[in-house]
Amino acid sequence: MQTINDAVQVSVRSGIAFVTLNRPGAMNAINADMREGLLRSLPALDADGDVKALVLTGSGQRAFCAGQDLDESAATEPRGLAGWLNHQHAMYQAIRDVDKPIVAALNGFAMGGGFQMALLCDLRVAHPEVRLGQPEVKVGLGSIVGSYLISLQVGHSVNQQLSLLGDPISGARAGELGLVNELAAAEDVLARAAELATKMAAQPTMGLRVTKQRFRERTQADFDEACRAGIRYQLESYSTGEPQRTMQEFIARRAQKR
**pLDDT bucket at 4, cuts 50 / 70 / 90:** confident
Please tell me the distance from the alpha carbon of residue 2 to that of residue 9, in angstroms, as a whole number. Answer: 6
Please tell me the distance from the alpha carbon of residue 251 to that of residue 240, in angstroms, as a whole number. Answer: 19
**Beta-bridge partner residues of 140:** none
pLDDT for 3: 64
If one counts every other C-beta atom within 10 angstroms of the C-beta of residue 194, the result is 22
Query: Quick one: how far is CA 29 from the chain centroid?
Result: 10
52 has a pLDDT exceeding 70? yes
207 has a pLDDT exceeding 90? yes
Point out the least confidently predicted range of 15-19, 152-156, 248-252. Answer: 248-252
Question: Strand 2-5 relative to strand 8-13: parallel, antiparallel, unpaired?
Answer: antiparallel
pLDDT for 258: 66
Q: Which of 184, 38, 55, 205 is nearest to 122 (CA)?
A: 55
Mean pLDDT, rounded, of the chain: 95
Please tell me the distance from the alpha carbon of residue 59 to that of residue 63, in angstroms, as a whole number. Answer: 7
**pLDDT bucket at 172, cuts 50 / 70 / 90:** very high
pLDDT for 56: 98
Please tell me the distance from the alpha carbon of residue 67 to that of residue 79, in angstroms, as a whole number. Answer: 22
**pLDDT bucket at 111, cuts 50 / 70 / 90:** very high
Structure pTM? 0.95
pLDDT for 204: 95
DSSP state of 68: B
User: Quick one: average pLDDT of 181-188?
Assistant: 98
Percentage with pLDDT > 70 across the chain:
99
pLDDT for 74: 81
Please tell me the distance from the alpha carbon of residue 89 to that of residue 69, in angstroms, as a whole number. Answer: 15
- Listed in sequence order, the DSSP H helices in the chain are 32-47, 70-75, 81-96, 113-120, 145-151, 156-160, 171-177, 189-201, 205-240, 242-257
User: Quick one: average pLDDT of 237-253?
Assistant: 87
User: Quick one: average pLDDT of 194-216?
Assistant: 97
**More confident of the two residues 221 and 76:** 221
pLDDT for 187: 97
**Beta-bridge partner residues of 20:** 9, 57
**More confident of the two residues 76 and 132:** 132
pLDDT in tens, 53-83: 999 999 998 999 999 998 888 888 888 899 9
Percentage with pLDDT > 90 across the chain:
85
**Beta-bridge partner residues of 16:** 13, 53
Contacts of residue 57, Cβ cutoff 8 Å, sequence gap at least 6 = 18, 19, 20, 21, 64, 104, 105, 106, 107, 189, 190, 193
CATH numbers and ranges of domains, the chain: 2-205 (3.90.226.10)
Measured between alpha carbons, how far is residue 156 from residues 116, 135, 159, 164 in Å? 17, 17, 5, 12
User: Quick one: average pLDDT of 24-41?
Assistant: 96
Order of strands across the sheet that contains 109-111? 63-65, 109-111, 131-133, 169-170
Contact of 41 with 8, CB cutoff 8 Å: yes
